Amino acid sequence: MKAMVLHAPAGLDRLVLEDRPDPEDPGAGEIRVRLHGTSLNFHDLGVVTGRMPTADGRVPMADGAGIVEAVGDGVREFAAGDAVVSCFFPDWQAGTATIGDFSRTPGDGMDGFAQDVVVRPATAFTRAPKGYDAVEAATITTAGLTAWRALVVDGKLKAGDTVLLLGTGGVSIWALQLAKLMGARVAITSSSDEKLERARAMGAEYSVNYRAREDWGHAVRDWTNGRGVDHVVEVGGPGTLAQSIEAVRVGGHISLIGVLTGMGGEVPTALLMARQARLQGLIVGSRAEQQDMVRALEAGGVRPVVDRRYPLEQLADAFRHQQTGDHYGKVGVEW
């Protein structure tokens, strides 16, 4: 079988498509999955560029979707021919978070899904949303479930709430779609007027170019007539957090899910206290939460936004496109 392998020292030019032996038949509790798609995340980029060190010879990519080829003894949830999608934390089945590292995350602490076939525990997958192709399904593993947990699980989003989204990457566009599905009103930021226009076409009620308006937190607060938004999906980190706190209402909720502007920095603690807001860090979600999301997507008829698709042998080019920041939504790879 074919597998994309990352060799040390890590870098995009160190991704090599290699032949590897096919995995053995699934054992008890396992399934064999023929993979057909993955999608790119900031986490994956960190692994393949060496910013997040991994083992030499690692198969990257946390997201994977495909078709079940065989099931082992005791597997009742899946059968051959089922469309499935992977879980970011294969050992976190349900309940509150108990995992704070990536030692068991595919594509980081263990081999990921940039390969033809895998044999894994059945509990490391959920069924894919009906009608989704492999790339579309793969977008829910990391980005989709992060947005779902931020808004629905932790944020307790309800109809009529206001939501602020930063940028137009995979998590933010998924969050836009989920917020609209739930009947919320959305404000969104970007440095691109063209992307903001696309977001408005998808239902965003308010948009602001953060390069044209550096105090975009104030702008969003003005949009809410001074009240502030109920939820912020904060993907930037230290470079944007102060404006997010400015934008949130008293008693609101900020989901800290990204560090695009850095790994550490100052927090305006006095303003955060004054807002009495809940600032919650999170990393993706559990298998049970992914199952809930799949049901919601099917009920609402929501399909992900895939900016561009690449073949597996062009995985490095897909990451280069991601690095430009020109994409809107998700970047996919299919084979």
Residue 55 sits in a domain whose CATH number is: 3.90.180.10
Is residue 134 within 8 Å of residue 66, measured between CB atoms?
yes
CB atoms within 10 A of CB 324: 7
Q: Over its length of 335 residues, how does the chain's per-residue pLDDT go in tens digits? A: 999 999 999 999 999 999 999 999 999 999 999 999 999 999 999 999 999 999 999 999 999 999 999 999 999 999 999 999 999 999 999 999 989 999 999 999 999 999 999 999 999 999 999 999 999 999 999 999 999 999 999 999 999 999 999 999 999 999 999 999 999 999 999 999 999 999 999 999 999 999 999 999 999 999 999 999 999 999 988 889 999 999 999 999 999 997 665 677 778 888 899 999 999 999 999 999 999 999 999 999 999 999 999 999 999 999 999 999 999 999 999 99
Phi, psi at 87, each rounded to 5°: -110, 140
Whether residues 208 and 239 share a domain: the answer is yes
pLDDT of residue 267: 80
**What is the number of domains present in the chain?**
2
Same domain membership, residue 273 and residue 208:
yes
Do 61 and 150 share a structural domain? no
Are 148 and 135 part of one and the same domain?
A: no
Give the separation between CA 48 and CA 324, rounded to whole angstroms.
16
Residues 190-200 pLDDT 10s: 999 999 999 99
Distance CA 238, CA 333 (A): 31
d(CA 142, CA 40): 9
Give the CATH number of the domain where residue 231 resides.
3.40.50.720
pLDDT of residue 225: 98
Q: What is the pTM assigned to this prediction?
A: 0.96
Residues 116-146 pLDDT 10s: 999 999 999 999 999 999 999 999 999 999 9
Considering the domain architecture, whether residues 122 and 238 belong to the same structural domain is answered as: no
d(CA 144, CA 163): 16
Domain span at residue 267 reads 144-281
- Tell whether 8 and 132 lie within a shared domain: yes
- On whether both 109 and 173 belong to a single domain, the answer is no
Side-chain-side CA neighbours of residue 280 (13 Å): 21
Together in a domain, 60 and 105? yes
Q: Are 30 and 72 in contact (CB under 8 A)?
A: yes
Residue 58: strand pairing partners: 6
Say if CB 149 and CB 303 are below 8 A apart.
no
pLDDT at 261: 54
**Separation of CA 59 from chain center:** 19
User: What residues form DSSP beta bridges with 41?
Assistant: none
Q: Which of 179, 236, 178 is nearest to 210 (CA)?
A: 236
293 within domain boundaries: no
What local confidence, expressed as pLDDT, does residue 262 receive? 60
Residue 311, in any domain of the structure: yes
Q: Considering the domain boundaries, does residue 109 fall inside one? A: yes
241, 266, 281 — which closes off a domain? Answer: 281
Please tell me whether residues 114 and 157 are part of one structural domain: no
Q: Are residues 112 and 71 in the same domain?
A: yes
Q: What is the pLDDT of residues 69-89, one digit of tens each?
A: 999 999 999 999 999 999 999
Residues 63 and 116 both lie in one domain:
yes
Judgement on whether residues 47 and 125 belong to the same structural domain of the protein: yes
**Domain assignment of residue 286, yes or no:** no
Torsion, Cα 110 111 114 119, to 10 degrees, reads: -110
